Structure 1
Amino acid sequence: VFVGIETTEEESLVECGKFQNRNRDLLSSVKKMQEFGLQVQGGFIVGFDHDKPSVFRNMIDFIQKSGIVTAMVGVLTAPTGTRLFLRLKKEDRIVSDFSGNNTSIMTNIVPKMGMKNLVDGYYKILNSIYAPKPYRRRVITFLKNYKPNSIKHVRPFADSVKAFLKSVWVLGIRDKGRMNYWSLLLWTVFFRPSLFPLSVEFAIYGYHFRKSFSFGMLVESDTQSPSA
């Protein structure tokens, strides 16, 4: 299920009119859905006028602790004709047409925090959550909390075996983050063996995300990787 969480900042939730997300424990809400067998995919936005410099670290920590494996993070943009667009146009903060791509750094507004701060913070989030080690930790966080009503695999058995063997070659041998691949699979075998196919699937997703967001080297270090 895709959930528009948008932001962890209360003032920014007010700014974007996401009142149903206010005054609640968002982390507990996500975990409750996972406990009922739902895989939560989250939508997040940075660049609100009320966002403080801490918003980037707060978002990284929330994504890691929540176990949201697929986190779609975008920068604030103003679709033509919306209240946001009209307000920013009056403030002379619209710089281009709306592209429709909400996972691109190419926003059409002048952010209050400054474009450099927004770009740097956006890259910091993606570098942190999709680097191999924090991604592996986040998948494990999800698998610990996930309680599906039933385990059904619709993919044909032969296709599943082929995908697994290819993942072993690409992720378990060739990829620089291979130790995280093996750590994830071994953890799953010992603690959630029924979810092994899902674990392999998430490992492949992680590889895809790293390639899709290849705006530069995904740096993994103790200082950048969240501890959650």
Structure 2
Amino acid sequence: MKIHLVTPKNPPSFWTYDQILPALGKRCIFPNLSMPTVAGLTPSGHEVTLCDENVEEIDFDVDADVVGVTGYIVHRERMYQIIQEFRRRGRFVVVGGPFASLCPEELRGRCDVVFVDEAEETWPQFLADLEAGAWKSEYRPAEKPDLTASPTPRFDLLKVDRYHALTLQFARGCPFNCEFCDIIVVYGRRPRSKTPAQLMQEIDECHRLGANQVFIVDDNFIGNKKLAKELLREMAAWGAARGYPIDFNTEVSLNVAQDKELLELMRAAHFTTIFIGIESPRKESLKETHKTQNVRGDLVESVRTIHSYGIQVQAGMIVGFDHDDATIFDEQLRFIQEARIPVSMTGMLQAMPKTPLHDRMTKEGRLVAESTGDQFVFSNIFPKSMSRLELYRGYRTLIAQLYDFRNYRRRTLDFLLHKGDQVANGLRVRSGELRLLARILGETVLRTNPRRAWFTLSLLGTTLLRRPSVFKDAVSFAIVHKAFHEYIEALACHLDFAIAELERGAEPDELQPA
């Protein structure tokens, strides 16, 4: 059979970097791993093609026996449109992924088959059923799959040169129990991992395809510390033997700061950035949301400990917890500045479907509407310790302050001048990096307004004078600020509208984006 797997275009968000992709010479930061994984699960004898709408147009007239569609809640409306267009042309359409797993009831009747949960077992079974003419309208596994049997994703089917980075997955699931998190709903609380040998094979494949940036998309890379350390030792040896050709990024929990061996291994494996859900500097809010791993120890010192190993912390922060009053916004800003966190994804609390928070908000009568998946524009709950107007006003002020030129420059320089050294020499130049530098300087100095030009030259000049070994990092921070600042400016317009609506007494669900 001919199988065509489609990933919908991402809506603009904090992480899409739409404003700077042309300067990077790319069309998307990294691919969704779902479809390469499904392609890898497809038995031989079938012809598989991938289409990522982020890097190419969808051909709705493609010659295919089966069309697969995936996506998250934020892709909901675009998924509906894609499904409708293919079905209108008589295609057999199947849907899976995080949105289908959380909300299968919203897809029943819209497509031919819905896949709930992970597809390692159900996808090959479906293909066999379809060939036998005995397919079902819904597939879900009896239990969570064993990832040690999962084949290498078909990275070769991606248009690799159009992405800034490639994505891998070592483990699924997270041992913690954060009230707002949908990861544990979809993947469970018992981390399941591939073997280190499997992931090293995938790293080799990414290297063969020319990737020099790899994002390991685990929900919590250190959910199983023992196995993570085994993998890191192999990654460190692999990188040292090849001159560290790949920069690695991933997501971890804050308890990584308490394990010095783990941090040293991550440094040795050339992890340059890790995303951590810190959520709040307020301990009462952390306890409320069951974020117990963040309550132990001093948050600022934990972040600085990680930085001392040359690893940048990108933070996930949330406002709108029950213990958050109108003073939380200044508290968040002070913490982010003091902890020297250049990049903080800060949003309003959202109750995602099927999560414990969603259940509690429903029982307490505080659920405004179902989640849009976009925590930057809309909060779907009634806050407890402040009004919705105070939440939106405070949040609007906070995000503007975070990516104000002055605040961003200060904490970024503090980070660059105090962080530890990476295992690879920061002064080395990879192929193509000088051309990229020229494009970035053109975007942030020559073809821009005087304020951005001064900001860029000041950041780069200070770095060159005081610590030239981190100059490449400074260049990266200069260009990503353009993306964040312009995204925040556009976001502020949406928030200003929401604030005006609240001031005139609009109903809460009227604020939900169309």
TM range (shorter): 0.7 to 0.9
Post-superposition CA distance 1:19-63 (Å, at most 9, x none): 011031110111111110111100000000111222111100111
Partners of 2:333 and 2:369 in 1: how far apart? 29
Matched residue type, 2:447: V
Higher relative contact order (CA 8 A, sep 6+): 1
Instruction: Work out which of the residue numbers 342, 347, 369 in structure 2 matches 1:96.
Output: 369
Partners of 1:137 and 1:207 in 2: how far apart? 16
Q: 2:463 corresponds to which residue?
A: 188
Give the share of equivalent positions with the same residue, in percent.
Answer: 34
Would you tell me which structure has more helix in proportion to its own residues?
A: 1
- Once the two structures are superposed, the pairs formed by residues 137-156 of structure 1 within 5 Å of their partners are 137-147=410-420, 148-150=422-424, 151=426, 153-154=429-430, 156=432
Q: TM-score, normalised by structure 1?
A: 0.88
Q: 1:107 corresponds to which residue?
A: 379
Q: 2:438 corresponds to which residue?
A: 161
Partners of 1:14 and 1:8 in 2: how far apart? 11
- Once the two structures are superposed, the pairs formed by residues 30-69 of structure 1 within 5 Å of their partners are 30-69=303-342
Partners of 1:7 and 1:155 in 2: how far apart? 40
Q: How many residues align?
A: 214
CA distance 1:2–1:119, change in 2 (3 Å): same
Q: Is the 8 A contact 1:45 1:76 kept in 2?
A: yes
Partners of 1:212 and 1:154 in 2: how far apart? 29
Q: Does 1:13 align with 2:286?
A: yes
Shift of 1:146: 1.6
Q: 1:128 corresponds to which residue?
A: 401
Matched residue type, 2:402: I
Q: Is the 8 A contact 2:444 2:456 kept in 1?
A: no
Partners of 1:28 and 1:55 in 2: how far apart? 20
Matched residue type, 2:312: Q
Matched residue type, 2:378: M
Higher-Rg structure is: 2
Q: 2:392 corresponds to which residue?
A: 119
Post-superposition CA distance 1:164-216 (Å, at most 9, x none): 33322135xx2434333222122111101121122121111111111011134
Instruction: Work out which of the residue numbers 481, 490, 506 in structure 2 matches 1:206.
Output: 481
Provide structure 1 residue ranges, at least 5 long, that are not aligned to the other structure: 218-228
Would you tell me which structure has more strand in proportion to its own residues?
A: 2
Q: 1:222 corresponds to which residue?
A: none
CA distance 1:9–1:153, change in 2 (3 Å): farther
Partners of 1:132 and 1:199 in 2: how far apart? 14
Matched residue type, 1:168: V
Q: 2:73 corresponds to which residue?
A: none
Q: 2:184 corresponds to which residue?
A: none
Provide structure 2 residue ranges, at least 5 long, that are not aligned to the other structure: 1-273, 494-514
Matched residue type, 2:399: L
Post-superposition CA distance 1:131-167 (Å, at most 9, x none): 1111111110110122222225546132333323332
